[in-house]
Structure 1
Amino acid sequence: MSDTSTSDSDVEDDNDDLLPIASHVNIIHGLKTVSCLTLDSNGMRMITGGHDETMKMFDFTSMDKNFQPFRAIQPCPGRLLRVIEYKPNNDMILIIPGDCQAIVVNREASGKHIIYKTVLGDLYVTDMNRTKGHKSLLNYGCWNPSSNTDEFMTCADDCTLRMWSLRKRDQQLHVIRTKDECGRDVRTTTCTYSQSLYDDENSNLIAAGCDNGSILVWDRRRSFVHVTFKCLNAHLQNQSVTSLKWSYDNQILASRSTDHTLKIWDIRKFDQCLSSCENIYNHFSMTNISFSPNDKFIITGVSKCTNSNDDETNGKLMIFNRNNLSKPLNEILFNDSVIRTLWHPKLNQIFTTTNNGLVRIFYDEQRSPMAGVRLCLSRKEKKPKNQNDFVANIDPVIASSFTSNSIDEQRNIFPENRKDEKKSSSLHQHLVQTIVKPNIVGEEDPRVELLKHAKEAESNSKWVTPAYVYTQPKPIFQQQIEEENDGEDLLPLLKKHRNK
């Protein structure tokens, strides 16, 4: 027995050495629950969102130790955010708000950032197959993991899964209705695509979790009318399945539910789970699951129990071996509930969110590459800029030759070379005087100017006077000037008085 216990402890120590949990960094998103967490495939950018209706974008390549986002927007004002996910090729972002319509924005989420918005279903049509979109609140959404497609999937309280394409904007591609064993509609709480890393028979599967604890799986190569695999009693009745996640090899399906359990399944033997862990509290509908990059470990968050203050009821990040969920490999305590978890495959860093607006990132300097949050730790904090501060950077050596004292000294040394300031002029003034003619019309006397030409006009009459040389040699001028009456001009012609 002692040899067996020793070997088990050695295995646990080896597993702890593989986990990137030696150090951690805290990033503050806000004061409310952080229900959304996503990173691009390269690990360069991170997006968080939550119940404060704000989506914050962080760039690890330019961020310093202050961990401030480069953009914060409200894509759906008045609606809390449930899911945010990068597209596999990182050029678009899918946003699932607490609304009936999902939206797709560009990578920068700037300008006219909304690229696509799903169609709203007809509220007066009862047949879900005949509506062009969801007519109830959305619960979850995700991209197709294949990088050569523009397809994504959503699920809602209208008991349907709907697949959409950015190339078809008027309605959805397919509608899948979720039903129980009696044929009654049940609400769909989560959905997921199988991984497309391996081209096998399980790479075309779609799984959905319902609010009655059942898990349903369809094959895309067949009709969606009938379920391919199903487990109607996967979790307790009237308990919602909050997350479904396929392993990277598409052999294992992990499920998390509000019945405070974590289970793993093999769909070839879907009647009974392979392993499970109970009494791990889950009070949030966004609590999810993540697999490690080597597909050996599973992580999930645990909610804080509000009935007690013991350590056993605090929020936790629990790490399990994929083959055995009976006992966790490691538990990391939090002061609040842990909701979202993400183990990035390239960064080998673990990202978690809590219900108090905190994002905690775990890493290991030996096993995590120099990327992601480790880039920010190597940069110095930037000093905050104050608009009221004014800093003048003047070189004293250069400025000394232009001071007032130096100019006065030059004037005193060469007084004879300096012209009088009143008489001197600049080159600019000289050019203006030569180009622009002076305006002297206002300074001349018109009577004097006309008398200059009086003698010439009498001797050489050229214009008007030659016409009267023979008929009227002497000019006759009017002797009396009659007063003009402007009012008579306005009267009719027949009513004017004749002059006697």
Structure 2
Amino acid sequence: MAEDASAEDLAQEEMRAHFPMAFGAQEPERVRLDKIHAATLPEGLGSGLGEEDEEDDPWRLPITHEVAFEAQGKVVAALDVDRAGARVLAGSRDYGARIFDFNGMKADLRAFRQLVPCEGHPVHALSWSPSGDAFLCVTGSAKIKVYDRDSSERCESVLGDPYIRDTKNTKGHQSPCTSGQWHPTDRHTAVTASEDGTLRVWDTTTAGQRTVVKPSVDRPGRVAVTACAYGDDGALLAAGLASGTLQLWDIKGKFGTSAAIGQVLPPKAQMVAQQDWKYVSGGGRVVKGAHAPGGAITSLTFSRGGFTLLSRSDDETLKLWDTRKFKAPVHVWEGLPASFESTKAIFSPDERLVLTGTSADRSGRGGAVVFFDAKTHGLVRRVAMPSSAVGLAWHERLNQIFVGVGDKAGGGVRALYDPTYSERGVLLCAGRKLRAKDPFDFQAPLVIHTPHALPLFREPRPGGKRKREKERQDPVRSQMPDRGGAAPLKPGTGGLIGATGGTLLTQYVLKNQGMLRKPEDEDIRASILRHAGKEDDQFNTFTKAYAKTQPERILAEEEEEEEGGQG
């Protein structure tokens, strides 16, 4: 029997050798995702305007849950998500931009890259390339920058010559940029708008200028271009001006003429680079007075096919246009405050809804993301935000809505999603646990020394008690007040008696003969009577002039104490 048991065990060991070592091990207990997402459910979702029961919601809006990304210094005005749905770009008015990577983030949702494109200039626009290997950064500077996927600078445009009046003859923007977008299909082309009144098409590999576009204006002068956008296939280009004008260009085929035509070029020895870019002046479809003049058109967005255009302005309106009948808007939504010049308006992925952000007003009403029906133009939903909603993006693959919120005090990115309808993205990070603290972790305490603080708030200096007493006696280190140039007096010098009664011979003699007394031990009356009747009386020296007129002084005599007690 023993031999049969050993043979059976040997056969089992040979069989077990064909399986991995973890075969048969008990799997660790996993936390259910529905419990994790239930913790992110926002309180008081929506305002009840056009709100239906969640079970019968025909729109299936991914707004049941909300998470906040790492906070930023000011309002997040620029926001974009790459096509793969792996990374989010967020640009703020605090001059910085951050990159969030869903594949590496944990539940704290912290950015893995932070950069400052141009010190002292806020970020106005961020746009991923179609392939997602680079992104365009447009700031308040006249220069644009292109970064690769890991935030390394790839190229930077040149600054236009400010002394050339005709802006079509410069190689770059002359005034601060306002907006920009990467071409939807060409990974080597991007467009930007500027306050110098032009749009410029760039080669994103070298940041070289390709085309200068000058919109039509009512009268001579420069009118700032506040927004620009490409069509879904890149065949249309739209621009919004500060005068309230909208203009469209069809960029198929030959787009523009050479800016060098009709000019006398300098000799080749003086020519640094050949001026071979194109320019477009006027042309296209123009709608003057599309929005209130003097404001800013904050956003332009095309639908698929380019037949519908959304225009958002800071005149508190959102307008829907038909590009085939580009004369009057199809519908106008009013009462939508926009305090920031980058407030976005977009379509939903199925283009059934229109989304825009609203700013907080002085009455105390906060910002929100408002949903409208694109066909009936009715209000569908209003999702409240803690502050003004400016940046906006709805990713088609993730089915998640990203909102850039904030004000002058601070800002950040809020992500709205639904565990049932959304995929990946925030769902990957919400279920990841943070690193547990180890007892051996150490972080040095932050100590701030204030050497010039008041004595009440001054911290004790490091060192022993004896050292502190020595420093307190030092007039330089203890910052004792100046005595007027005289050296500090110490016991035993300057006629002072030492702490032990004095050890000098002169002090000893004077003290025993009564010539060295303390003022508090001396009797004033006895001192006056000591000089009475003497010629060297100092008192008589000053009063002998009045001897003839003054009465005779009668001084009381000292009473002798009786010896012995009373009988």
Mapping for residues 7-406 of structure 1, pairs under 5 Å: 17-109=59-151, 113-146=152-185, 148-167=186-205, 169=207, 171-182=208-219, 184-196=221-233, 203-221=234-252, 222-223=255-256, 224-306=280-362, 308-309=363-364, 313-325=365-377, 327-355=378-406, 356-369=410-423, 371-383=424-436, 388-389=441-442
Instruction: Tell me by how many angstroms 1:303 deviates.
Output: 0.5
Percent identity between the aligned chains? 31
Secondary structure of the residue aligned to 1:314 is: coil
Distance 1:281 1:262, change over 3 A: same
2:73, 2:93 within 8 Å by CA — same for their partners in 1?
Answer: no
Tell me which amino acid in the other structure corresponds to 1:84: L
TM score, norm. by length of structure 1:
0.70
Residues 448-492 of structure 1, C-alpha deviation per residue, up to 9 Å, x if partnerless? xxxxxxxxxxxxxxxxxxxxxxxxxxxxxxxxxxxxxxxxxxxxx
Distance 2:425 2:51 in 1: 32
Instruction: Tell me by how many angstroms 1:75 deviates.
Output: 2.5
Distance 1:291 1:37, change over 3 A: same
1:29, 1:48 within 8 Å by CA — same for their partners in 2?
Answer: no
Instruction: Tell me by how many angstroms 1:386 deviates.
Output: 8.3
1:347, 1:372 within 8 Å by CA — same for their partners in 2?
Answer: yes
**Match for residue 436 of structure 1?**
none
Distance 1:333 1:9 in 2: 13
Instruction: Tell me by how many angstroms 1:167 deviates.
Output: 4.7
Instruction: Tell me by how many angstroms 1:301 deviates.
Output: 0.3
Instruction: Tell me by how many angstroms 1:149 deviates.
Output: 3.6
Distance 1:12 1:194 in 2: 34
Instruction: Tell me by how many angstroms 1:15 deviates.
Output: 5.4
Secondary structure of the residue aligned to 1:324 is: coil
**Match for residue 480 of structure 1?**
none
Instruction: Tell me by how many angstroms 1:388 deviates.
Output: 5.0
Distance 1:38 1:9, change over 3 A: closer
Residues 181-240 of structure 1, C-alpha deviation per residue, up to 9 Å, x if partnerless? 3454321001000001xxxxxx51100000011100011135433322111121112121
Distance 2:71 2:176 in 1: 25
Distance 1:192 1:17 in 2: 27
Tell me which amino acid in the other structure corresponds to 1:281: P
2:370, 2:383 within 8 Å by CA — same for their partners in 1?
Answer: yes
Instruction: Tell me by how many angstroms 1:83 deviates.
Output: 1.2
Instruction: Tell me by how many angstroms 1:291 deviates.
Output: 1.2
Residues 115-137 of structure 1, C-alpha deviation per residue, up to 9 Å, x if partnerless? 11111100111110111110100
1:15, 1:329 within 8 Å by CA — same for their partners in 2?
Answer: no
1:178, 1:187 within 8 Å by CA — same for their partners in 2?
Answer: no
Tell me which amino acid in the other structure corresponds to 1:220: I
Residues 278-324 of structure 1, C-alpha deviation per residue, up to 9 Å, x if partnerless? 01101100101121111111111000102x12xxx321110111123
Distance 1:388 1:329, change over 3 A: closer
2:236, 2:306 within 8 Å by CA — same for their partners in 1?
Answer: no
Secondary structure of the residue aligned to 1:249 is: helix
Secondary structure of the residue aligned to 1:153 is: strand
Distance 1:168 1:114, change over 3 A: closer
Instruction: Tell me by how many angstroms 1:352 deviates.
Output: 0.2
Distance 1:328 1:384 in 2: 48
Secondary structure of the residue aligned to 2:69 is: strand
Secondary structure of the residue aligned to 1:49 is: strand
Distance 1:264 1:72, change over 3 A: same
Distance 1:287 1:384, change over 3 A: farther
Secondary structure of the residue aligned to 1:362 is: strand
CA RMSD for the aligned pairs?
2.2
**Match for residue 262 of structure 2?**
none
Distance 1:20 1:126, change over 3 A: same
Distance 1:78 1:225, change over 3 A: closer
Distance 1:368 1:9, change over 3 A: closer
> Which range is displaced more, 21-30 or 152-161?
21-30
TM score, norm. by length of structure 2:
0.62
Secondary structure of the residue aligned to 2:168 is: helix
1:179, 1:186 within 8 Å by CA — same for their partners in 2?
Answer: no
Distance 1:141 1:162 in 2: 9
Distance 1:79 1:185, change over 3 A: closer
2:306, 2:323 within 8 Å by CA — same for their partners in 1?
Answer: no
Distance 2:300 2:174 in 1: 24
Instruction: Tell me by how many angstroms 1:71 deviates.
Output: 1.7
Distance 1:268 1:143 in 2: 24
**Match for residue 38 of structure 2?**
none
Distance 1:11 1:262, change over 3 A: farther
Residues 41-79 of structure 1, C-alpha deviation per residue, up to 9 Å, x if partnerless? 111111212122222111111211111111222222222
Distance 1:16 1:70 in 2: 37
Distance 1:120 1:31, change over 3 A: closer
